[in-house]
């Protein structure tokens, strides 16, 4: 049996990252300062999704490389979560008109690349990025696979935050226009996900000292903030998920959080709580807005900070209820899960 370690700081940041995702979709500081909201939601909060990918790269990818069955089981689990999420949000998507006039090709693009609802892009991106990186790491040395991932990310930058630097009516511009007929954003499983999965895996192989991580994080974070503000002023952004300095920020942030490591479990919150918050929060955005309309309590929508807090608190309550319900699974199912976990640690 291998010794099991726990990472409380990683767990706490997962919860913070889930609430940062809610901030991205509710813009909590808009009523106070649009500029401050941009820095919070379009720069700082862009650490949230890469962090989730790095968690997978650190904890799941090494096991998947050693055991193909483990990798397939992980992809199957994520696929099942995605299927349930698609079904859950299908009525909302139909009501909102997301599928109106969409042909079979458009629907397939939504399912396999862009997600069928605005936050669900994460799951097909994880499926594609994870499978792609597994193939790269099995076919190439680590550094070569890393170079491919970085090149893909750099290419994705020019379809995202650096899009305005591409001159119109150029050959490169034509290529990106062609790509956008295939998918909506370069923030996807091909260009975006693999590099963050790889950074998590790199941290599992070797990571810098805590002092170096903190120092480098401070410097790279300053550059990220400057990069985000400069690109906004230059009006180059087609989207605002991908930044050059997001790569070192995520690596050193994750490395610093890994220092809080213990062989003794510290009870924090249910393991799947951040996932449930991520998956459920758009429903509660709709419920809060609908509730405010019915009750005529418009400040729940008009005041961006109150709107964010209402969505965050109600989503947390819903996620806790779902977590509680998930613990009521039949004993046979739980026993199979425990057996599976034990076999993976042998």
Task: Assign 331 a pLDDT band (cuts: 50, 70, 90).
Answer: low
Task: Give dist(CA 91, CA 293) in Å, integer.
Answer: 20
pLDDT at 346: 41
pLDDT at 136: 97
pTM, two decimal places: 0.92
Task: Give dist(CA 60, CA 75) in Å, integer.
Answer: 11
Task: Tell me the average pLDDT across 335-339.
Answer: 46
pLDDT at 23: 98
Helix, strand, or coil here: 141?
A: coil
Does residue 341 carry a pLDDT above 80? no
The residue that leads in pLDDT, 141 or 265, is: 141
As a whole-number percent, the residues of the chain with pLDDT over 70 amount to: 94
Task: Assign 195 a pLDDT band (cuts: 50, 70, 90).
Answer: very high
Count of residues for the chain? Answer: 346
- Whether 93 and 116 have beta carbons less than 8 Å apart is answered as yes
Cα 344 to Cα 61, 202, 311: the distances in Å are: 13, 21, 38
Does residue 1 carry a pLDDT above 70? no
Q: What is the mean pLDDT of the chain?
A: 92
Q: Which residues sit opposite 262 in a β-bridge?
A: 6
Task: Tell me the average pLDDT across 262-286.
Answer: 89
- Whether 81 and 119 have beta carbons less than 8 Å apart is answered as no
Does residue 45 carry a pLDDT above 50? yes
pLDDT at 264: 74
- Please report, to the nearest 10 degrees, the dihedral formed by the alpha carbons of residues 289, 292, 296, 297 taken in order: -130
Task: Give dist(CA 214, CA 224) in Å, integer.
Answer: 15
As a whole-number percent, the residues of the chain with pLDDT over 90 amount to: 83
pLDDT tens by residue, 120-135: 999 999 999 999 999 9
Q: Domain residue spans in the chain?
A: 31-270
């Amino acid at each position: 049996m291998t010794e099991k370690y726990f990472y409380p700081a990683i767990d706490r940041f997962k919860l913070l990252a889930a609430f940062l995702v809610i901030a991205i979709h509710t813009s909590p500081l808009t009523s106070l300062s649009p500029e401050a909201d941009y820095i919070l939601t379009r720069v700082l909060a862009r650490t949230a999704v890469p962090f989730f990918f790095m968690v997978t790269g650190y904890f799941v990818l090494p096991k998947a490389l050693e055991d193909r069955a483990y990798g397939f089981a992980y992809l199957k689990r994520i696929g099942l979560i995605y299927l349930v999420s698609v079904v859950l949000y299908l009525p909302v998507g139909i009501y909102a008109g997301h599928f109106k006039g969409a042909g079979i090709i458009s629907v397939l693009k939504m399912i396999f690349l862009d997600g069928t609802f605005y936050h669900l892009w994460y799951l097909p991106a994880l499926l594609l990025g994870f499978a792609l990186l597994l193939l790269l790491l099995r076919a190439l040395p680590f550094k070569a696979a890393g170079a491919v991932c970085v090149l893909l990310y750099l290419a994705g930058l020019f379809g995202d935050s650096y899009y305005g630097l591409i001159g119109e009516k150029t050959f490169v511009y034509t290529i990106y226009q062609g790509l956008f007929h295939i998918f909506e954003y370069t923030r996807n499983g091909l260009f975006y996900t693999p590099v963050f999965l790889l950074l998590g895996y790199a941290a599992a192989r070797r990571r810098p000292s805590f002092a170096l991580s903190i120092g480098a994080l401070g410097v790279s974070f300053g550059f990220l903030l400057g990069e985000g503000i400069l690109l906004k002023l230059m009006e180059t952004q087609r989207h605002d998920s991908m930044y050059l300095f997001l790569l070192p920020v995520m690596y050193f942030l994750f490395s610093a959080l890994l220092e809080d490591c213990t062989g003794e479990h510290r009870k924090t919150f249910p393991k799947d709580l951040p996932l449930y918050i991520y998956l459920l929060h758009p429903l509660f955005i709709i419920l809060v807005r609908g509730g405010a309309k019915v009750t005529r309590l418009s400040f729940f929508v008009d005041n961006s900070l109150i709107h964010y807090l209402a969505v965050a608190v109600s989503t947390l309550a819903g996620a806790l209820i779902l977590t509680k319900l998930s613990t009521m699974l039949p004993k046979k199912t739980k026993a199979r899960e425990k057996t599976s976990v034990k076999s993976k640690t042998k």
